[in-house]
């Protein structure tokens, strides 16, 4: 299961979906970073039929706010 899961399909709005370029723009990263996040299980594609993978942009935005690194010791 991805770190940042998408909502259920029936809860998605078309306006909240975007291709890899739009996802990268929302996250403030390059498209390659979106691919890396997906490969590492941080995010997932929206499972819809079609030629182009789509991403849930609010989920991508939330994932972008979490910076990589080790948690601080208490």
Residue 58, pLDDT > 70, answer yes
Residue 73, pLDDT > 70, answer no
Residue 60's φ and ψ, nearest 5 degrees, are: -60, -40
Domain chopping of the chain, boundaries: 15-65
Report pLDDT for 61: 95
Q: How confident is the model at residue 1 (pLDDT cuts 50, 70, 90)?
A: low
Mean pLDDT of all residues in the chain?
88
Residues 6 or more apart from 49 whose CB is under 8 A from it? none
What stretches of 1-74 show up as alpha helix (H) in DSSP?
Answer: 20-27, 31-40, 57-65
pTM for the structure as a whole: 0.82
Q: How far apart are alpha carbons 25 and 29 in whole angstroms? A: 7
pLDDT digits (tens, 9 = 90+) for 37-52: 999 999 999 988 888 8
Q: How far apart are alpha carbons 12 and 39 in whole angstroms? A: 23
């Amino acid at each position: 299961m991805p770190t940042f899961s998408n909502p259920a399909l029936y809860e998605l709005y078309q306006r909240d979906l975007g291709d890899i370029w739009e996802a990268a723009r929302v996250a403030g990263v390059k498209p390659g970073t979106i691919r890396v996040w997906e490969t590492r299980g941080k995010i997932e594609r929206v499972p819809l039929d079609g030629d182009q993978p789509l991403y849930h942009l609010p989920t991508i935005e939330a994932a972008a706010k979490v910076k990589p690194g080790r948690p601080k010791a208490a």
